[in-house]
Amino acid sequence: MTDYAALAARIRALTEGETDEVALMATLACEIHHADARFDWTGFYRVTGPEMLKIGPYQGGHGCLVIPFSRGVCGAAARTRQAQIVADVDAFPGHIACASSTRSELVLPVTGAGGRLIGVLDIDSDRPDAFTQQDATQLTRILDDVFGTL
């Protein structure tokens, strides 16, 4: 399991004073991806237009380039602004299969100052039921620390 205290401390040290969203996303994608063997694909989808997400910095194989808010787990997280913990992606209505190896998924909304939706953090696992509420809670804290004032 992930040592979230150590991960948060590393990310805090690496991102202190940085305000560029893409630079921050790239750093977080790398650090989070390598923090836990469950994390098979880790990346951000950025809000680039009305109801539209486009791929941002990520670690792992190719991701989908564009995801509308109306589709998939990432779209659901963006649309509802709520964490999506999906134990079995095949059972999620409208799941977008960007990678055939994905079995479970965790997607968290990323918000800036004033609740502005910046995008979503998407973590895929090749293991079924890989994510817990603790993962969602701890990663949301990290996201809020990094992006909450932008």
pLDDT at 100 over 90: no
CATH number for position 64 = 3.30.450.40
pLDDT given for residue 99 in this prediction: 83
Q: Indicate the average pLDDT of the chain.
A: 96
How many domains, in total, are found in the chain?
A: 1
Report H helices in the chain: 4-15, 21-33, 72-80, 133-147
pLDDT given for residue 96 in this prediction: 85
What would the two tokens of residue 94 be? 């409208």
Mean pLDDT of 87-108: 91
Range of the domain at 39: 4-147
pLDDT given for residue 97 in this prediction: 81
CA 64 to chain centre: 14
pLDDT given for residue 27 in this prediction: 98
92-98 long-range contacts, CB within 8 A, separation 24+: 96/64, 96/67, 96/71, 96/72, 98/41, 98/62, 98/63, 98/64, 98/124
pLDDT in tens, 36-90: 999 999 999 999 999 999 999 999 999 999 999 999 999 999 999 999 999 999 9
